[in-house]
Amino acid sequence: MKKNEKSLVIKPNLSSILLCVFLLFFYTSASYSQIISDDQKWQQVVNSNTASAYESYIDSFPSGKHLKQALNALKKLTISNNIDSLNETSEYQSAHKLGTVSAFQEFIKNYPNSSKVGEASWSIAKLVGDEEHSDSHTYREYLFLAASRGNSKAREILNDLLNRGIEDYLRGDDFDVNIFSTEASSGDSYAQAILGFIYHYGVKGFNKDEKEAFKLYSKSASSGNVLGITLLGIMYESGSGDVGKNYIKAFELYKAAADNSFAPAQYLVGHCYDAGYGTGKDQEQALAWFRKSAEQKNVNAEYEVGRYYANGLGGLKIDEITALYWFRSAANAGQRDAENYIGTYYITGKANLKKDDITAAQYYQRAADKGSSFAYANLGACLDNGQCGFTKDETKARTYFQIAADQGVTSAEYRIGNYYLKGKGGLNTDYAKAVSWLQKAAAKNFPAAMNDLGYMYEIGLGGLSKSDFNAASYYKRAAEAGNDVAKVNMGKFYLNGRGGFTKDEVKARDIFIELANKNNRYAQNWLGILYELGSAGLQKSDALAFYWYKKSAEQSFAAAQNNVGRFYEFGKGGLAPSKINAEIWYEQAANQGVADAEYKMGVFYQNGTGGLRSDLKLAIFWYTKASEHGNTNAIEALKKIQ
């Protein structure tokens, strides 16, 4: 700038000359072009033959030699356009009076650029379907066209569909992206938001382009469009499009749209208060916003209101009946998490529902089909337990658990870890993978996962150094979270003074008694041990020992099954000795990998006792399994046979 200023001072005459030349050219160019361009301009106007072209000629050549012809042509076109406008209005009124799909379609065909196309398209959509029957090809086609042409009612429905899963609609063959692309280019804020959504999620054959989505959302939001504002907030919350996660900005955007009564944004404000994103965690505020949104039939908000009633959140008392009402309302609109919750209510018989595993499975399946990771976890549990009308199938259960675990469902992470620990579901035992999955679940304070990690520290598995102290720490955390198995393990540590616990047999005994009376099979077996030994202040009683062993064994606890077999073999607890009964219980325990029971099965087959025929091959089979599990008697037996 300073250099230019200096040149003006040194050579003022040059600047003046240049300015004069420019002005001379400017003022003479018009008359010059008029002399030589009249005919050329007229030829262009005739070729165009539009009112605007004739008006341009008259403005440029007010004394032109073709002026009269231009005025006459303009007059004819104006009359023709007026007639077309009258025809357009008349035909629309006729279509409206007939009220048929074909009449409105004919109008749109004849007048594709009419301002009434949006209204006509909306009329067709109303005639062929409604929100409850919105899978109609024609309904969706004209719903999109109506929305793109500014029909407010069609846009309201698309806003609602966005909240219910508009991706399915946008993928439909009847959706023409060009409709919204054209409108977005012309500055329509609603079309910008929809087109941004298409780029954001890569639907309708479009490559996912989050940066382009961000630009379109920003343009839409700058015009005050609540849909654009909300979608922009979602990008800030997720950190997509290279914007970086910004919960505060996301909350501000959601709140701005929510304050304009936009239901999806009201739900998202509730979500932020629920999770503490961009604002302080406040469940009462969350509930208030969820209610506002739910009152406008926002299905995600309906689910959240149900969840709050189901769990007594936000100052509410637990009310399963009211929770079920909201879950049903959301589920009827296809909300997958609500469907999953209803399935669980049928499994447990909550909200006065009659327990019905079959109906539960149907709800779980509906939710899973929509991609609910929680429903996959619940279907896995049904298969693992042989419930919900399914035959027990651990391999298929593992497949469902894996799907859910990969999406971060805590219970499924635990299940996969437990399967690796025990070699279930077609998996080979893999302690390292077990630790990895169990640690994920334990980090979220899942009690059963913490208990399993305690066991792995106690034994020293999966690369974990054997540590009673670490085992006790996990058992304590799991027990405090309500896990009864962990409480039994704590009792075991109290019994022997392990893991930093002061030895306290009475405390251990009381834990076992309390849980045994709650039908905990592990506690029942331990109580049997205390009665058999006459320890922890209990009078020795083989009869009571057998009573508790039997109760535990009937719940398939392998160690207790072995103890029952032992009592039958040697006639303890007032029982008559019976190797036949002993064999029955030993076999059940052996099939679950109890080394002592495996050794006993080898003895029975070798000697042909317990109702078994003598079979050296089977004896060797069982001795081998027992020896692999460290049973020294089995190792010696194999040496003698060989």
Environment class of 15 (CB within 10 Å of its CB; exposed 0-12, middle 13-18, buried 19+): exposed
384: left (phi over 0), alpha (psi -120 to 50) or beta: alpha
Within a domain: residue 51? yes
pLDDT of 86 higher than 70: no
Q: Which range among 104-113, 320-329, 536-545 shows the weakest confidence by mean pLDDT? A: 104-113
Quick one: pLDDT at residue 259?
96
Average pLDDT, rounded, for the chain: 86
In sequence order, what DSSP letters do the residues of 284-335 get, joined into one string?
HHHHHHHHHHHTTT-HHHHHHHHHHHHHT-TTPPP-HHHHHHHHHHHHHTT-
465 versus 139: the higher-pLDDT residue is: 465
Residues 6+ apart with CB under 8 A from 50: 77
Mean per-residue pLDDT, 350-364: 95
Q: What would the pLDDT profile of 275-305 be if each residue is shown by its tens digit?
A: 999 999 999 999 999 999 999 888 899 999 9
Look at residue 370 and tell me whether its pLDDT is greater than 70.
yes
Residues 567, 547: contact at Cβ < 8 Å?
no
**495 Cβ contact list (under 8 Å, min separation 6):** 503, 505, 508, 536
97-114 average pLDDT score: 83
Return the closest-CA partner of residue 629 out of 575, 580, 536, 558.
558
Q: How far apart are the first and last CA of the chain?
A: 105
What distance in Å separates the CA atoms of residue 372 and residue 609, rounded to the nearest whole number?
54
pLDDT band at 62 (very low <50, low <70, confident <90, very high): confident
Residue 312 lies in a domain: no
Residue 87: what pLDDT? Answer: 64
Q: Which long-range contacts (CB under 8 A, 24 or more apart) does 469-473 make?
A: 469/499, 469/500, 471/499, 472/498, 472/499, 472/500, 472/501, 473/499
Alpha-carbon span 178 to 205, nearest angstrom: 12
Above 50 in pLDDT, residue 262? yes
Residues spanned by the domain of 68: 46-94
CA 495 to centroid of chain Cα atoms? 45
- pLDDT tens figures, 535-563: 999 999 999 999 999 999 999 999 999 99
More confident residue, 170 or 591: 591
**pLDDT (tens digit per residue) in 396-433:** 999 999 999 999 999 999 999 999 999 999 999 999 99
Tens digit of each residue's pLDDT (9 = 90 or more) over 219-232:
999 999 898 999 99
| C-alpha closest to that of 331 among 352, 354, 360, 311 | 360
- Whether 70 maps to a domain, the answer reads yes
Residues 487-503 have pLDDT tens digits of 999 999 999 999 999 99
- Exposure string for 568-602, b = 16+ CB within 10 A, e = fewer: bbeebbebeebbebbbbbbbbbbeeebbbbbbbbb
Pick the most confident of 148-157, 235-244, 555-564.
555-564
Q: Which of 7-16, 49-58, 329-338, 370-379 has the lowest mean pLDDT?
A: 7-16
Instruction: Reply yes or no on whether the pLDDT at 506 is more than 80.
Output: yes
**Quick check: 3 pLDDT over 50?**
no
* CA distance linking residue 394 with residue 420, whole number of Å: 12
| Interval 15-52: pLDDT, tens | 333 333 333 333 333 333 344 467 777 787 787 777 67
Q: Is residue 160 part of a domain?
A: no
The whole-angstrom separation of Cα 642 and Cα 620 is: 10
Q: Could you tell me if 335 and 352 are in contact, meaning their C-beta atoms sit under 8 angstroms apart?
A: no
Please report the pLDDT score of residue 81 as a whole number: 52
- Position 613 pLDDT exceeds 80: yes
Residue 67 inside a domain? The answer is: yes
Q: Residue 12 pLDDT > 50, yes or no?
A: no
| Mean pLDDT for the stretch of residues 106-122 | 82
Residue % of the chain over a pLDDT of 90: 64
Q: What is the pLDDT of residue 502?
A: 96
Q: Is residue 22 part of a domain?
A: no
CA dihedral sign, ordered 382, 385, 389, 395: positive
Residue 55 lies in a domain: yes
Band of pLDDT at residue 8, cut at 50, 70 and 90: very low
The model's pLDDT over 125-137, given as tens digits with 9 standing for 90+, comes to 888 765 444 445 6
**Are the C-beta atoms of residues 36 and 20 closer than 8 Å to each other?**
no
Domain count, the chain: 1
Q: Is the Cα torsion angle 101, 107, 108, 114 positive or negative in sign?
A: negative
Higher per-residue pLDDT: 448 or 201: 448
CB 475 within 8 Å of CB 447: no
pLDDT of residue 78: 60
In this predicted structure, the answer to whether residue 635 has a pLDDT above a threshold of 70 is yes
Could you tell me if residue 500 is inside a domain? no
Whether this prediction's pTM lies above 0.85 is answered by no
